[in-house]
Chain A
C-alpha cells in the first residue's frame, strides 16, 4: 500500500471535502461537546469475557458502495492483554455482508503483517496494522481506518477482491480465546464511510537514495461519504453472538469531552501515532532540520528516568508500506543524523525481514568493528568509521550515514526463532525499520534522525585521487 504525499494546501482541500459529510446532528441536545464526538462504545471487560469469537452485528439497511475502501472511524481508548499488561494496540475484525448474503471479511490469510492507510481526525495520514485477520489501531488513535475492499477475503494486490455493490450488515468481532486477544478493551466507534483513497506509487529520491521515512506530517488524498453513524445504532436491535463478551453503549459526556480533547491535540498525536515505541521511554517529537521535519529523540537523566523493568534499549518502529518494503537492488540503508553533543552518541538502525512464520531482525549487534560511511553535510567531509555492536556518531556530526547490507548481521537472539535463517534475502518483504538506542550510554542525549532510505549505488568515501567511483556527497546531493 502506498500513500501519496500531497501538499498541505491540497491536503486541506481534501480534508475539507472529506469532513464536509460529517454533519451529525447533536440529537441528544447536549452542549459542550461536539456532534462528531458522539459514538457507540464497545466495552470488553474481564467479567464479561467469554470463549471463542464474540461479536455484534448491526443492520445497516442497504447502502450502495462506490468507493475502493471502507472507512471505519474509531478511537481505541484502553486495552489489557491476557497477561494483564497494557498493549500498544486494540484489535478488531470486521465482516460485512451484501444484499446477496455474500460476506466480505477482513481476512489476511497469509498472516503477513501489512498496513492499511488511515487518517487521524485532523486528516494527517497514518497507518494501521492489518495482521492475523484483525485491524490493530493503536490505543489513542482517533481517526479513520481505510480497509481496501481489495484486501478482504484474503485478496492481494495481485489478486484483489472485488468491492461489494452494497452492504447491509457489519459485524465487529473479537475473539477472547486467542492468546493474543484482549482481556479488556474500550473503543469508541463513530462512522463508516464509503471511501476512495488515492495510493499513487510515487517514491521520493535524494540522488540515489529512495526515502523510506522522512518524518514529515503525511496527508491522505481521500474522497469519502459517511454511510453509517454508529451513534444512531439501535442498541436493542443489535445481534450478539452466542458468546457475548462485549457490551455496547453510547459514549458518556465525559468520554465525549475526552474525544474532543483528543481531536484538539490531533496534530501531534497523529504524527506520533505513525511510530511504535517500545523499551526505555524517550521523548520523541518532530523538529525542523536540514530537510524539513526531523525526528528528535531525547533521553532524560539516567538516574531519574531509567526504568530497570523495561528493555535497556528504547525503540522506535516504522512500518514500511508495500513498495517501500521492497529492498531489491538496494545496497544498504542510509539515514541523516545530527549529534549536537560534544561526545559520541550511539544507536542502531535495524530492519526486519519477513520470513515464513515471523520476522527476522537485522542489526549491527553481531560483531564489533563493522564499518559505517559518513558524509557531513555541514563540513563536506566524508569518512568511514567503526561500529561497536551499534553505530557511533562522532561529536558534532550532521549528515548522512551509510550502512551497507554487508555490515548487518542477524543477531543471535533473532536467530533463536525457528523461522529465521540468518540469510539476507532482498526478495523477501522488509516490513519494519527500527531505531534503537541504549539509554545507559546515552544519558541525557538528544539525537536527530531524518530521511531513512535505501541507497542503490556503489560509492567511495573520502577519495581525493580517484574519482572513478562517486563519493557519498556526489551521490546524495546529485539530484537535489
Chain B
C-alpha cells in the first residue's frame, strides 16, 4: 500500500512539473535544475546555478537589448556582462541566446568582477578611433564586489565585444573615502547609469556610492575624447520627496532615463527598508520622476523653507512600489506563490541615448531572487536564483 501511494505521488509531481514547464515557461533546463518561480515569468530562462541580475534595456524600434550581470561559471560567483537581444513577436519580447561582452581583467582593478553595466550611444574617440557605444560598468578586484569602482568600455556595435578604456577606473573609489582605519569592505561605487546630453560625446553618469556615506551622485562628462575626458564635479543629487522604509531615502541601485519632452528624469530605484535573511537586497523597486533641473539644485533657502513636497514624486501615485504582491500570479494551477521575496536592481527601458521611449508609460525590468532557506534550495543556492522580469507602469 505504501509503495502504491509513493509511486502515485511521484507520477503526480512529474505531471505537475511537466505541466508547469509547458504552460508557463517555467525555466527548466535540460542539463540542470530549474530556478524557483514564485510569480510572473522571467524574461528568459536559465537553469539554477546561473544568476541574471541588474538589467539595462535599450530599445531600438522593434528590437531591444538587455545588458545584465551573469556568472560565467555555474554555481560560482564569476561576474561578467552579458547581452541578449530580443524581438517583439506575438505580444511579447522574445530573447535570443546570451553573449558575454565584458569580462574581468586578470590582475586589473576589475580583476574579479564586472557587473551592473549600462550602455549609451554617441561618438566616443578612443585611441584615434570613433566608437558608437560607451559602456559604464562596476568592477572590483574582489569576488564579493566590495570597494567597487566604475570603468568605461567601448564598442562599434551595441552587442559586440566591448574594449575597456584604459587600465584604470574612470571614477575611483579612492583614498578620499577612507576612514582613519583605512578603506574597508564598503560596496563602493555601483550601478552606473548613462544618459546622453548631446547624442555625441557628452554624457551624464549617475551612480550609487556606498562608503562612509551612502549617496547618489551624478557626474557630467565630455567623453568625446576618452583619452582626455573632461569631467564636472561630483554632484550629490537632491533626494527630497523620496519616501520608503528608510530614514534617509536614497536613489540606490537606480537607473535613469531622460524625457526631453517633459524635461524630467524617470528613475527606477530600490525601495529601501530592512530585510531579514539573505540576500540582503531590496524587497521592492519604485518608479519616480523629477524635474531634470531640480535634482542638481542647491537649496539656499532659509532653514525649514525647503519645499515640503520635495523634488521627487512617484511616477504613478497609485503605484508606490513593485513588490512581491505585484509579482504574484493568481493562478492556483501553476503552483506559484505570492510573488518574489526579493525585487531589486531595476531599470527603465530607454532608447540608445538613455532617453525615454514613451511619455505615457514605462517598462521597467528588475531582478528577483529567492531567499536563503526557501524550499528546494540548499546552502547558498539562492545566490544563483536571480532572474529578470518585465513590468509596465502607466504614468499617473
Residues of A whose CB lies within 8 Å of any CB of B are 331-332, 341-344, 362, 368-369, 371, 373, 381-386, 388, 392, 394-397, 404-410, 423-424, 426, 441, 443, 458-466, 471
Contacts and interface: CB of A to CB of B under 8 A. Distances in A.
Given A383-B233, A461-B233, A463-B232, A406 B176 contact: no
A331 B220 contact: no
A339 B235 CA distance: 21
A464 B306 contact: no
Given A344-B179, A386-B213, A459 B234 contact: no
A406 B202 contact: no
Given A332-B300, A424-B303, A464-B222, A386 B176 contact: no
A392 B302 contact: no
A424 B302 contact: yes
A310 to B, nearest CB: 22
Contact of A388 (B213, B234, B305): B213
Complex A-B, nearest 9 residue pairs according to Cβ-Cβ distance, in ascending order: A462-B233, A464-B232, A382-B233, A464-B220, A383-B234, A384-B236, A331-B300, A394-B176, A386-B213
B197 A465 contact: yes
B301 A406 contact: yes
A409 B220 CA distance: 31
19 contacts: A332-B300, A344-B180, A344-B212, A368-B247, A368-B248, A369-B213, A369-B248, A381-B234, A385-B215, A394-B176, A396-B175, A397-B176, A405-B303, A406-B306, A459-B300, A461-B235, A462-B232, A463-B232, A465-B204
Nearest to A374: B233
Contacts of A466: 293, 296
A395 B220 contact: no
Interface string B299-334: 111111110000000000000000000000000000
B228 to A, nearest CB: 14
A403 to B, nearest CB: 10
Contacts of A343: 175, 178-180, 182
B63 interface: no
A388 to B, nearest CB: 7
Interface string B181-197: 01000000000000001
A6 to B, nearest CB: 34
A478 B305 CA distance: 29
A127 B265 CA distance: 53
Contacts of B202: 464-465
Interface in B88-127: none
Interface string B7-50: 00000000000000000000000000000000000000000000
Contacts of A373: 298
Interface of B: 175-180, 182, 197, 202, 204, 212-213, 215, 219-222, 230-236, 247-248, 293, 296-306
B69 to A, nearest CB: 28
A343 B179 CA distance: 5
B176 A464 contact: no
Contact of B303 (A394, A406, A443, A463): A406
B303 A464 contact: no
Contact of B231 (A368, A460, A464): A464
Nearest to A396: B176
A424 to B, nearest CB: 5
A388 B305 CA distance: 21
Contact of B176 (A382, A395, A409, A461): A395
A462 B305 CA distance: 24
Nearest to B181: A343
Given A343-B182, A405-B302, 16 more contacts: A341-B180, A343-B175, A369-B215, A369-B248, A381-B234, A384-B298, A385-B234, A395-B175, A396-B175, A406-B302, A410-B303, A423-B304, A459-B298, A461-B298, A462-B232, A463-B235
A416 B236 CA distance: 33
Contacts of B220: 462-465
Nearest to B220: A464
Contacts of B300: 331-332, 404-406, 458-459
A383 B219 CA distance: 9
B303 A384 contact: no
Residue picked from A369, A441, A458, A471, most chain B C-beta under 10 Å? A369
A63 B178 CA distance: 66
Given A343-B178, A396-B176, A406-B306, A386 B215 contact: yes
B233 A406 contact: no
A463 B219 CA distance: 8
A147 B54 CA distance: 71
Contacts of B305: 406
A407 B298 CA distance: 10
B377 to A, nearest CB: 37
Nearest to B306: A406
A392 B212 contact: yes
Contacts of B293: 466
Given A344-B212, A368-B248, A426 B232 contact: no
A460 B296 contact: yes
Contacts of A441: 180
Contact of A409 (B234, B299, B303): B303
A341 B233 CA distance: 22
Contacts of B301: 404-406
